[in-house]
Amino acid sequence: MTTLTDAVRTRLADTNFWHIATINEDGSPQVSPVWADVDGDHVLVNTAIGRRKDRNVRRDPRVALSAADKDNPYLNIEIRGRVVRIIEGQEAEDSIDELCRKYTGEFPYPWRKPGERRVLYVIEPETVQARL
């Protein structure tokens, strides 16, 4: 566990796009874009239950995140850590609505597919490399 600096926390609170890497069953890497947010020293990421990254983090909670600052892509942050809580149900549904409001101004999240259920990951950072 590591403490996030204010500069890193600010980037997580802002509307930067993050890319989260997870490990496939065969040990190969997978990476996909996500919205993110911050709660104290934890990183929050929300996805739909059953997607590849969801299946992956339930098997292996180790993840890595990378973002380039939206206003200057030469400022960037890499975080390695692990998913320490997997939250489903109303809290996960509410969190995607809030992320959507933060990133797009729309509320609630309008792109739910029929039957889609959301999941919220609470990620504990282990190492952070920030070039800010």
Q: What are the residues binding a copy of itself (CB under 8 A)?
A: 17, 19-23, 27-33, 60, 62-66, 68, 73, 76, 78, 80
Q: How far is the CB of 116 from a copy of itself (least distance, A)?
A: 16
Nearest 5°: CA angle at 45, between 129 and 58?
A: 100
3-state helix/strand/coil string of 98-119: HHHHHHHCCCCCCCCCCCCCEE
* Cα separation, 8 vs 27, whole angstroms: 29
Q: How far is the CB of 82 from a copy of itself (least distance, A)?
A: 8
Question: Which residue, 29 or 89, has its beta carbon nearer to a copy of itself?
Answer: 29
Q: How far is the CB of 89 from a copy of itself (least distance, A)?
A: 26
4-39 residues labelled b (16+ CB within 10 A) or e (exposed): beeebbebbebebebebbbbeeeeeeeeeebbbbbe
Question: Which residue, 49 or 103, has its beta carbon nearer to a copy of itself?
Answer: 103
Q: How far is the CB of 62 from a copy of itself (least distance, A)?
A: 4
Question: Which residue, 91 or 126, has its beta carbon nearer to a copy of itself?
Answer: 126
Question: Which residue, 62 or 102, has its beta carbon nearer to a copy of itself?
Answer: 62
Hey, is 127 helix, strand or coil?
A: strand
Q: Which residue type is seen at 87? A: I
Question: Which residue, 89 or 101, has its beta carbon nearer to a copy of itself?
Answer: 101
Q: How far is the CB of 106 from a copy of itself (least distance, A)?
A: 12
